[in-house]
Chains A and B, each alone.
Chain A
Amino acid sequence: MNAMLRETESAIVPLAVSGLVHCYEGSNALNGIDLALEPGSVLGLIGRNGAGKSTLIRAMLGLLEPLAGEARVFGEPALQLSDAAKARIAYVPQQPEALAWLTAQQMLDFVGRFYPRWDKAFVTNTLGRWRIQPNKLLAKLSPGERQRVDLIRALASQPELLVLDEPAAALDPVARRELLREVALRAGESGTTVLFSTHIVSDLERVASEVAFLHQGKLLMRCSVDETKERYARLWLPGKMSAAAPTQSLSRRRHDDGSLSLVVERDASGHWPEAASLPGARVDALGLEDLFVEIAE
Chain B
Amino acid sequence: MNLRTVILAPWRASKPAAQGMALLLLALAVLGAIAVGMYSSKPAWWVGPALIIGIGEGFLWAFVMSSTVLLAIDARQLLVPGIRCSVIVGLLLYGLLSVAVPTVVLSLFGEHPGATGAIITLFCIGGFAFALLPRYLGTVMCLMPAALNALPPGIRMPGPADPDFLHVAVLAVAALLLMLVVCWRRLLHAASPYTSGWTQPMVMQFRYAGRRAAWNPWTGFGGGIHGVDSTQRIRRRPSWLQPVADLRDCGPGHPVRSLRIALGGLFMPLTMTAHLRQFAFVIVPSLLFVVLMTLQGVHRHGVAALLTAWHDGGLIMLIWFGAFGSMMLAFFCIGQVWQLWQKPNAELPLLALLPGLDGSAQVKRDLLHAILLQPMRVLALLLLVLLMLTASLHLSARASLFVLLGQLGSIGFMVAFTLTIIGGRPLGPWATGALAIFGCILINVSLFVPTLSDPGQMKLGGGTLPDLFVVGWVVLAVALPWLGRRGWRGLMQRPHPFLPN
Show the binding face of A for B, using Cβ within 8 Å: 58, 61-65, 77, 79-81, 83-84, 86-87, 89-91, 93-102, 106, 109-111, 113-116, 137, 139-140
Contacts and interface: CB of A to CB of B under 8 A. Distances in A.
A83 B356 contact: yes
Interface stretch (B54-62, B186-194, B239-247, B282-290): B239-247
Main secondary structure of the interface of B (DSSP, over half): loop
Contacts of A81: 353
A108 to B, nearest CB: 11
B356 A89 contact: no
B250 interface: yes
B356 A101 contact: no
Interface in B346-360: 346-350, 352-358, 360
B399 interface: no
A106 B343 contact: no
B234 A65 contact: no
B264 interface: yes
B355 A140 contact: no
A80 B360 contact: yes
Given A63-B498, A99-B350, 12 more contacts: A63-B344, A63-B352, A63-B353, A65-B499, A80-B496, A83-B356, A91-B353, A110-B250, A113-B258, A139-B231, A139-B235, A140-B235
A91 B351 CA distance: 11
A87 B496 CA distance: 17
Contacts of A109: 247
Count chain A CB atoms within 10 A of each CB in B243, B258, B352 and give the residue with the most.
B352
Contacts of B494: 65
A111 B350 CA distance: 9
A106 B247 contact: yes
Contacts of B349: 58, 61, 63, 91, 93, 98
B345 A93 contact: yes
Closest 7 A-B residue pairs measured CB to CB?
A113-B251, A79-B495, A139-B234, A86-B355, A97-B346, A93-B345, A83-B355
Given A99-B347, A99-B350, A62 B495 contact: yes
A65 B495 contact: yes
A111 B232 CA distance: 23
A91 B243 CA distance: 27
Nearest to B496: A79
A77 B496 CA distance: 12
B145 to A, nearest CB: 36
Contact of B234 (A63, A64, A116, A140): A140
B396 interface: no
16 contacts: A61-B353, A62-B495, A62-B496, A63-B353, A79-B495, A83-B355, A83-B356, A83-B357, A91-B353, A99-B262, A99-B347, A102-B261, A114-B258, A114-B356, A114-B357, A139-B232
Interface string B215-237: 00000000000000111101100
Contact of A58 (B247, B251, B344, B356): B344
B265 interface: yes
B343 A97 contact: yes
B66 to A, nearest CB: 27
Contacts of B242: 101, 137
Nearest to B352: A63
A113 B355 contact: no
B500 interface: yes
**B344, B347, B498: residue with the most chain A Cβ atoms closer than 10 Å:** B344
Interface residues of B, number: 41
A93 B357 CA distance: 20
Nearest to B347: A98
B268 interface: yes
Interface-central residue, A91, A98, A116, by most chain B CB under 10 Å: A98
B268 A101 contact: yes
Contacts of A91: 349, 353
Contact of B499 (A64, A89, A139): A64
Nearest to B264: A101
A100 B353 contact: no
B347 A114 contact: no
A106 B499 CA distance: 25
A196 to B, nearest CB: 15
A103 B5 CA distance: 47
Contacts of A63: 344, 348-349, 352-353, 498-499
A81 B268 CA distance: 26
B252 interface: yes
Nearest to B229: A97
A40 to B, nearest CB: 21
Nearest to A113: B251
Contacts of A111: 350, 354
Contact of A102 (B245, B258, B354): B245
Contact of A110 (B247, B343, B498): B247
A80 B360 CA distance: 8
A98 B234 contact: no
Nearest to A85: B355
B252 A114 contact: yes
Contacts of A93: 344-345, 349
Interface string B360-374: 100000000000000
B500 A64 contact: yes
A90 B350 CA distance: 9
B353 A98 contact: no
A11 B500 CA distance: 32
Nearest to A93: B345
Contacts of A116: 355
Contacts of B354: 86, 111, 114
Which of B243, B262, B348 has the largest count of A CB atoms less than 10 A from its CB? B262
A83 B358 contact: yes
A140 B356 CA distance: 29
A129 B360 CA distance: 38
A64 B264 CA distance: 22
